[in-house]
Amino acid sequence: MKAVTVFRTFNPVEAQLICSLLASAGLLATVCHETAALTTEGGAISVGGIEVQVPEDEAEDALEIIRTSAPPSSPEP
């Protein structure tokens, strides 16, 4: 199944928190590009940010969880 990005940030802690939030709701969430962001010169900006992804069929649920649980300043993809 195709993975889709439901959250993007330049902050690795924020990405992990969102991933944990989604996982606690039973979704199969993963963090992508975190290692590259932390080890690449220019950090997360140079790799386009750190992404939280879920399977395509869980994307709507994930976005709803993020909208209702995350602080309003959190970016959406």
Q: How many domains does the chain have?
A: 1
- Taking each helix axis as running N to C, give the angle between helix 59-69 and helix 12-24, from 0 to 180 degrees, rounded to the nearest 10: 110
Amino acid identity for residue 68 in this structure: T
User: What pLDDT is attached to residue 12?
Assistant: 86
CA distance 27 to 6: 12
CA distance 69 to 47: 27
List the chain residues with pLDDT less than 50.
none
Span 41-52, pLDDT tens digits: 655 555 678 899
Note whether residue 77 is domain-resident.
Answer: no
Q: Which pTM value belongs to this model?
A: 0.78
Q: What domain range includes position 58?
A: 3-69
Note whether residue 75 is domain-resident.
Answer: no
Cβ(17)–Cβ(52) under 8 Å?
no
